[in-house]
Amino acid sequence: MNSAKVKAYKVAAVRTATPANLLLMLYDGAINNLAKALKAFDYEDPLEFNLTIHESVTKAQAIVRELNYSLKVETGGELAQNLVRLYEYFDNRMQEGNIKKNREIIAEVYTRMSELREAWGQTYENMMDEKATAAPLPTQPEGAPAGETPSLSLMG
């Protein structure tokens, strides 16, 4: 598949995603960039080493900053306040890891973000399961002949 088609697919996926899916996509993006940075620590070429780590970490930082800016702290209560502190911590640690080119710092943020992403993913799955079990299937309307399935009318 060519890059234009891949880009169009990604744009469509983002535009049609639910807020919960967008959150997971952002986490996936940050985690994938941190994984690229960790892989770059094995590069022997100093230019490739430094450039790949720097670009990957700064992309992950941009995503974490977007996560932080998107929080509704006024209405989000204690959870939102804790996430602000956590995202700021991630951002600061990534900055330090990038400047020092320290694998352990980048690995720490990678691990913590992966755990947080897993928790959000599980929460989302649980919400979807609850929604599916809470929504009863359509039943036979009163007075309808037995054996006929109800129809949907867009006109009312």
Q: What is the DSSP string of 76-109?
A: HHHHHHHHHHHHHHHHHHHHHHHHHT-HHHHHHH
CATH number for the domain spanning 118: value is: 1.20.120.340
In 3D space, the residue among 104, 110, 100, 105 whose CA is nearest the CA of residue 50 turns out to be: 100
Has residue 67 been placed in a domain?
A: yes
Look at 12 and 122; give whichever has higher pLDDT: 122
Token reading at 40: 């770059």
Has residue 44 been placed in a domain?
A: yes
Categorize the per-residue pLDDT at 138 as very low, low, confident or very high, splitting at 50, 70 and 90.
low
Is the pLDDT assigned to residue 31 strictly greater than 70?
yes
- Contact call for residues 151 and 141 (beta carbons, < 8 A): no
Has residue 154 been placed in a domain?
A: no
pLDDT score, position 136: 58
Categorize the per-residue pLDDT at 62 as very low, low, confident or very high, splitting at 50, 70 and 90.
very high
Mean pLDDT computed over 74-87: 94
Per the structure, the count of domains in the chain is 1
What is the domain range of residue 125? 3-132
Has residue 156 been placed in a domain?
A: no
Categorize the per-residue pLDDT at 82 as very low, low, confident or very high, splitting at 50, 70 and 90.
very high
Mean pLDDT computed over 77-101: 97
Has residue 148 been placed in a domain?
A: no
Has residue 149 been placed in a domain?
A: no
Has residue 138 been placed in a domain?
A: no
Out of 41-45, 53-57, 80-84, 123-127, pick the least confident. Answer: 123-127
Is the pLDDT assigned to residue 23 strictly greater than 80?
yes
Has residue 33 been placed in a domain?
A: yes
Categorize the per-residue pLDDT at 122 as very low, low, confident or very high, splitting at 50, 70 and 90.
very high
